[in-house]
Amino acid sequence: MFALSHPEEAHEVTLSKSLERGLYLRTARSHRQLYPSTRGLSFQSAGIAAGFDKDARVPGCGSDCCGFAEIGTVIAIASIRKPQTRVFRLVTDHGVINRLGFNNGGHGAALARLQRRQQRGIVGVNIGANKDSADRSGDYVKGIDTFYDLASYFTVNISSPNTPGLRDLQAPAALDELLSRVMAARAAQVARNKPQRPIFVKIAPDVAMEDLPAITERLQVHAVDAIAISNTTLARNGLVDPNRKEGGGLSGRPLFHRATVILARVHQMTGGRIPLIGIGGIDSPQTALDKIEAGASLIQLYTGLIYEGPGLIGHIKDHLDAAVSAAGVRSIADLTGRRAAEWASREVVA
């Protein structure tokens, strides 16, 4: 199934031997606008999730073969660690466990690459904090300031399980402090006659259900432009693959149910007023449609492409196009959330 047995080696070969040389599948756009405009950005298809291109090495790939790309998570100070194996395929479960953390060359390296690219397509910048930072909120502000002229949008990542304590930023008081500073940084850029870049926030799938209303309420108070749901999970229920006991964040098919239930519950809590980005376990055209019907306005993929290949993107586009036609509606917006109540009522195993 896999030509290279080592996942990190396979990923590096994909980047260096193919994508950096411009050798990748260009997926045709739909003949109509499937996705609603989100905060001034006109999305045409599914996107590549953060984690695939941590260092902005191939940002054009995502916007050519998908509808948009999200680079990062990028951090202020380079943190490149090369210990033993950190990525594990769970082939039996169609999942991946990784404990890479924010392993990249820092703001400067990513900025230089983005400055060299031709300005085409939608490229978001996913920003995080160094694990040993004395001012983690300040790291996010540095991300806004550094990439403001080049990012189509920003995603504030407070949900990685591989950076100790990062998820503590989801607590209401910490979230208030962080988002107040992030929004102030954006306002300072706008005051210099720059466009108002959308700011998304990415939350964890492991958030306690009783905490979800408070988190969602704070995100609305700070008027974030979208909520990304979700990052990888620490849960391991139902797995059978021999690698299931490895430490790190789990992505892929085993994450789908948990992430989709949380997506639906956030959609209900926000009344559909904030666009949601569905991430986690999309590995077929039907799971893509499930995310939309549970409440997503947009979707992002990563692990599904590992198992299904780049052709998955085109299959999803065709399936969503057909679903829109079959429903007799004009766009994905008319399908978003129509099964949210059903999904929200489902249980999530702790």
The edge-to-edge listing of strands for the beta sheet with 87-90 is 87-90, 95-98, 249-252
Query: Does residue 259 fall inside a structural domain?
Result: yes
Q: How many domains does the chain have?
A: 1
pLDDT, residue 34, reads 62
DSSP-derived pairing of the beta strands 249-252 and 95-98: antiparallel
Burial of 212 per CB tally in 10 Å (0-12, 13-18, 19+): middle
In order along its 350 residues, the chain shows pLDDT tens digits of 554 456 555 544 444 434 444 444 555 455 444 666 777 788 877 899 998 898 998 886 655 556 789 998 999 999 876 656 689 999 999 999 999 878 889 999 999 999 988 767 899 999 999 989 999 999 999 999 999 999 999 999 999 888 888 999 999 999 999 999 999 999 999 999 999 999 999 999 999 999 999 999 999 999 999 999 999 999 999 999 999 999 999 999 999 999 999 999 999 999 999 999 999 999 999 999 999 999 999 999 999 999 998 889 889 999 999 999 999 998 899 999 999 999 999 999 76
Query: Does residue 269 fall inside a structural domain?
Result: yes
Q: Is 63 a residue of the active site?
A: no
Q: Are 246 and 261 contacting, i.e. CB atoms less than 8 angstroms apart?
A: no
Confidence (pTM)? 0.91
CATH number at residue 80: 3.20.20.70
- Give strand ranges (E) for 54-148: 68-74, 87-90, 95-98, 122-127
Query: Does residue 319 fall inside a structural domain?
Result: yes
Query: Does residue 87 fall inside a structural domain?
Result: yes
Nearest to 223 by CA among 262, 186, 171: 186
Query: Does residue 285 fall inside a structural domain?
Result: yes
Catalytic residue among 45, 152, 160, 251: 160
Query: Does residue 189 fall inside a structural domain?
Result: yes
pLDDT, residue 27, reads 53
Range of the domain at 169: 33-344
